[in-house]
């Protein structure tokens, strides 16, 4: 978690003599201008606030857009939607730069976050947004 990130940053500061800004990669399906639900609104508001304080990389799904690296959900060709999402997740993992933390939003990007955390040996934080339309979800 955050304690691990602090430890990594402290180790880097001792080695380099400086403390660099924290670097986080946000993984999401929705990112402006393509927003259709609460998770997209959340990420659209979160990213600019975080960018005022730390370095933020955004990996999203869909068409290319400003401020993020987009990953199309078209691989493998002709596959069902779950496999196409998996293909976009793998593309995200391959594109994540050197970061201190990976933060994924919704089930679409959570596998990418989990794999990125393992591959890059960094903590992975998940925000599970609700599909519940009655306000009882997370």
Sign of the four-CA dihedral 25, 61, 104, 123: negative
Query: For the segment 7-45, what is each residue's pLDDT rounded down to a tens digit?
Result: 666 666 667 766 778 999 999 999 999 888 888 999 999
The pLDDT of residue 43 is 96
Q: Judge whether 75 lies within some domain.
A: yes
What whole-number distance in Å separates Cα of residue 40 and Cα of residue 33?
A: 9
CA distances from 123 to 11, 23, 81 (A): 15, 12, 28
Residue 136 lies in a domain: no
Q: What is the pLDDT of residues 105-121, one digit of tens each?
A: 988 999 999 999 999 99
Quote the mean pLDDT of the chain. 87
Q: 100 — alpha (psi -120 to 50), left (phi > 0) or beta?
A: alpha
In a domain, 105, yes or no: yes
Per-residue pLDDT at 87 exceeds 80: yes
Q: Which domain holds residue 81?
A: 22-127
Q: How many structural domains comprise the chain?
A: 1
90-95: list long-range contacts, CB under 8 Å, 24+ apart. 90/115, 92/27, 92/59, 92/61, 92/116, 93/119, 95/59, 95/69, 95/71
86 within domain boundaries: yes
CATH of the domain at 69: 3.40.50.2000
| Cis geometry, peptide bond prior to residue 108 (ω within 30 degrees of 0) | no
Say what the pTM is: 0.80
């Amino acid at each position: 978690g955050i304690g691990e990130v602090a430890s990594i940053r402290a180790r880097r500061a001792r080695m380099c003599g400086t403390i660099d800004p924290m670097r986080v990669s946000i993984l999401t399906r929705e990112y402006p201008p393509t927003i259709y639900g609460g998770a997209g609104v959340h990420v659209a508001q979160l990213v600019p606030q975080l960018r005022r304080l730390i370095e933020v990389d955004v990996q999203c799904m869909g068409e290319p857009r400003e401020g993020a690296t987009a990953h199309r959900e078209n691989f493998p060709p002709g596959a069902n939607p779950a496999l196409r999402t998996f293909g976009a997740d793998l593309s995200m993992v391959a594109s994540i730069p050197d970061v201190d933390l990976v933060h994924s939003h919704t089930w679409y990007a959570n596998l990418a976050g989990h794999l990125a955390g393992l591959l890059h040996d960094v903590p992975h934080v998940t925000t599970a947004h609700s599909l519940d339309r009655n306000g009882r979800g997370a």
